[in-house]
Amino acid sequence: MKARDFLSVRDVSREEIHELFTLARSMKKDPRKYAKSLEFKTLALIFEKPSLRTRTSFDVGIQQLGGFSLYLSPNEISLGKRESIHDVAKNLERMVQGIMIRTFAHQIVIDMANYASIPIINGLTDYSHPCQAMADFLTLLEHKGKLEGLKLTYVGDGNNVAHSLMFAGARLGVNVTVACPPGFEPNLTAFRQAVEDAKATGAKIEVVHDPKEGVKDADAIYTDVWASMGQEGEAEARKKIFRPYQVNTQLMSYAKPDAIFMHCLPAHRGDEVTDEVVDSKQSVVFDEAENRLHAQKAIMHELMK
């Protein structure tokens, strides 16, 4: 990887993404082969938001590569409040060899990357979720045998996950349709960037408001919670708006017969997706969850080796 940090899928080229996928699949097949890749190296894990998959996959991943992890909670860090981002970066770069941040404002990871001389990995911000997208497209590749020319439809809120799916699709030649209620479209800058990037691969990036139209001929249908962390106060109001965008067996029937169902988890069963879909043979949600481990191991290996 030419990039020093991994803040966005846009930080890496199409070729680099495929190289990371090849490495991730090799690590998945033979993890012992890489057991000393990051021997004696430490990854600091900064969490401003709680997590199951991000915490476990990075923690287990760095240890499987021979390194160590250091968990830093909001009470210990409190970025920008107890201590400036600059000072946190300058302290940590003297003691660890990489930093993973899961936080709210995307500017925090940008500032950390600017100040720290060690690699910074974006574990999630309100703007993007690049590690999730890497696991998603690795899963899509495993189940479909290819990526270029496929259609992935994201149904729901045009949030951070939607942004990273658009970025990854544009890089990899995957057509990405976002089907969302009016007023809940992806960030306009993110959409324009994805459309611009897609010119190199011929991918089609679009936003529609009719979920049935959006999932037509889709190879994969993807959804996420209707109210993300920090939006709990809007949850009830959002349920009424997003109810027509629930992924159920009827909506799945408008996609291709062999379409797979994807979700970044956690799933609010009965809201954005029904039990019948998330527990169906078409569902690959736990494959995605596992692939967080393998995709992130590949990213850590390339940045921290």
Q: Does the residue 264 lie in any domain?
A: yes
DSSP state of 94: T
Q: Does the residue 94 lie in any domain?
A: yes
Whether residue 254 is predicted with pLDDT greater than 90 in this model: the reply is: yes
The pLDDT tens digits for 148-193 are 999 999 999 999 999 999 999 999 999 999 999 999 999 999 999 9
Place 235 in a pLDDT band, splitting at 50, 70 and 90. confident
pTM equals 0.97
> How much is the pLDDT for 50?
87
- Are 271 and 166 part of one and the same domain? yes
Q: Does the residue 66 lie in any domain?
A: yes
Exposure string over 256-268, b if 16+ CB within 10 A, otherwise e:
beebbbbbbbebe
Question: If we measure between CA atoms, which residue out of 228, 278, 284 comes closest to residue 251?
Answer: 278
Q: Does the residue 102 lie in any domain?
A: yes
Contact 163, 195 (CB under 8 A): no
Exposure string over 65-102, b if 16+ CB within 10 A, otherwise e:
bebbbeebeeeebebbeeeebeebbeebbeebbbbbbb
Question: If we measure between CA atoms, which residue out of 17, 228, 4 comes closest to residue 99?
Answer: 4
> How much is the pLDDT for 195?
98
- Are 192 and 63 part of one and the same domain? no
Q: Give the chain's domain count.
A: 2
Question: If we measure between CA atoms, which residue out of 102, 114, 156 comes closest to residue 268?
Answer: 156
> How much is the pLDDT for 234?
87
Mean pLDDT of the 47-74 span: 96
- Are 89 and 179 part of one and the same domain? no
- Are 103 and 167 part of one and the same domain? no
> How much is the pLDDT for 78?
75
CATH for 261: 3.40.50.1370
Q: Does the residue 25 lie in any domain?
A: yes
User: Beta partners for 44?
Assistant: 70, 99
- Are 107 and 145 part of one and the same domain? no
Compute CA distances 164 → 62, 154, 172, 195, 245, whole Å: 23, 11, 12, 13, 20
Q: Does the residue 3 lie in any domain?
A: no
- Are 300 and 253 part of one and the same domain? no
Residues labelled as active-site residues: 102, 129, 132, 224, 264, 292
Question: If we measure between CA atoms, which residue out of 66, 13, 26 comes closest to residue 42?
Answer: 66
Place 230 in a pLDDT band, splitting at 50, 70 and 90. confident
Mean pLDDT of the 226-236 span: 83
Contact 41, 67 (CB under 8 A): yes
Complete edge-to-edge strand list for the sheet that includes strand 175-179: 205-208, 175-179, 151-155, 220-223, 260-263
Whether residue 9 is predicted with pLDDT greater than 80 in this model: the reply is: yes
Average pLDDT of the chain, as a whole number: 96
- Are 173 and 62 part of one and the same domain? no
- Are 18 and 108 part of one and the same domain? yes
- Are 280 and 136 part of one and the same domain? yes
Amino acid in the structure at residue 233: G
Helix, strand, or coil here: 137?
helix
Q: How far apart are CA 71 and CA 73, in angstroms?
A: 6
Place 29 in a pLDDT band, splitting at 50, 70 and 90. very high
- Are 68 and 160 part of one and the same domain? no
- The residues, any chain, with a CB within 8 Å of residue 197's CB and separated by 6 or more, are 10, 167, 170, 171
Structure token digits, residue 142:
């495993």
Q: What is the number of residues in the chain?
A: 305
- Are 97 and 143 part of one and the same domain? no
- Are 98 and 243 part of one and the same domain? no
Q: Does the residue 22 lie in any domain?
A: yes
The domain in which residue 163 lies consists of 132-286
Q: Does the residue 2 lie in any domain?
A: no
